[in-house]
Amino acid sequence: MYHAVTDRPARATRRLSVAPAAFAQQLEMLAAHRFTPVTTAQLAAAWRGAGPLPPRPVLLTFDDGYAGVHTHALPELARHGFAASLFVTTGWLPGPHHTGGALDTMLTWDQVRELAAAGVEIGGHSHTHPQLDQLDEPELRTELVRCRELLAEATGEVPVSFAYPFGYSSRRVRRAVRASGYDQALAVGNTLAGPGQGPYALTRLTVRRSTDPAEFERLLEGRALGRNFAPDRALGKGYAVVRRTRRAAALAASAAPHRIGGIRQK
């Protein structure tokens, strides 16, 4: 899982960014280890029985839609003939649908179309990048459907893959993603993906600015993942409890009786 690929990331994206030179080196390592990149749709289809996967399959995914995916990542992907999947937060892109909130320089809609034309799978990442598990049903559906419709309109292809903002989901969110027309979805988890996770909870490994060649080698080999990502997992478990508590409190507040003019209302 990648985010921004740039030499000059914004402060908000620096930790999860990767320098272009590091990204190029990581693709060289993938090639040297004879990995075969596939798209999210190809992986999920194979696990549903559509046919065998190629030798040593790997997903290369980019979340949010930062400009460096086009400027820096695309030329390196093309040089190796590697497939990749890009998950776009549609409201963060400049243009008529812009909602604000972007953390760094974003792709333009023309660049999204160019990436799609180059063979990069374009998937959804919501419209405004909220914590989906904190939204009520109408808000959740709007985030999922608006994103899908805008991407279909821009690229001419209806997106079939989705990545959860922040990696957060719940059973309710996963049902909504499926009902909105997406065939598969990616979380984070920082564990190796496997068909037993189900098509709407596939996990990914985070690549960040601090990922040096030795750590990237361990990721490729699936070694020491528990040690590498122990802080991430501890933080994720703790924040999951916080999110569930917030959601329960919001539901309780919306269901509680209230008073108008001193009269108790139901």
Across 176-199, average pLDDT = 95
Mean per-residue pLDDT of the chain: 90
Neighbouring C-beta atoms of residue 209, cutoff 10 Å:
16
More confident residue, 229 or 213: 213
Decide if pLDDT at 235 tops 90: no
Q: What pLDDT is attached to residue 238?
A: 37
CB distance 191 to 33 below 8 Å: no
Which range, of 147-156, 200-209, 236-245, averages the lowest pLDDT?
236-245
Task: With cut-offs at 50, 70 and 90, classify the pLDDT of residue 266.
Answer: very low
More confident residue, 128 or 227: 128
> H or E segment at 123?
strand 121-124
Overall pTM surpassing 0.85 (yes/no): yes
Pairing of strands 121-124, 263-265: unpaired
**64-83: per-residue pLDDT in tens?**
999 999 999 999 999 999 99
Which range, of 34-48, 202-216, 241-255, averages the lowest pLDDT?
241-255
Q: What pLDDT is attached to residue 169?
A: 94
Q: What pLDDT is attached to residue 225?
A: 85
pLDDT above 90 covers what percent of the chain?
A: 80
Across 126-150, average pLDDT = 98
Q: What pLDDT is attached to residue 233?
A: 47
Query: How does DSSP assign 207-224, residue by residue?
Result: --TT--HHHHHHHHHT-S
Across 87-108, average pLDDT = 98
Report phi then psi at 12, rounded to 5. -70, -25
Across 98-117, average pLDDT = 98
Q: What pLDDT is attached to residue 215?
A: 94
Decide if pLDDT at 150 tops 80: yes
Decide if pLDDT at 260 tops 80: no
Across 223-228, average pLDDT = 77
Q: What pLDDT is attached to residue 249?
A: 57
Pairing of strands 263-265, 258-260: antiparallel
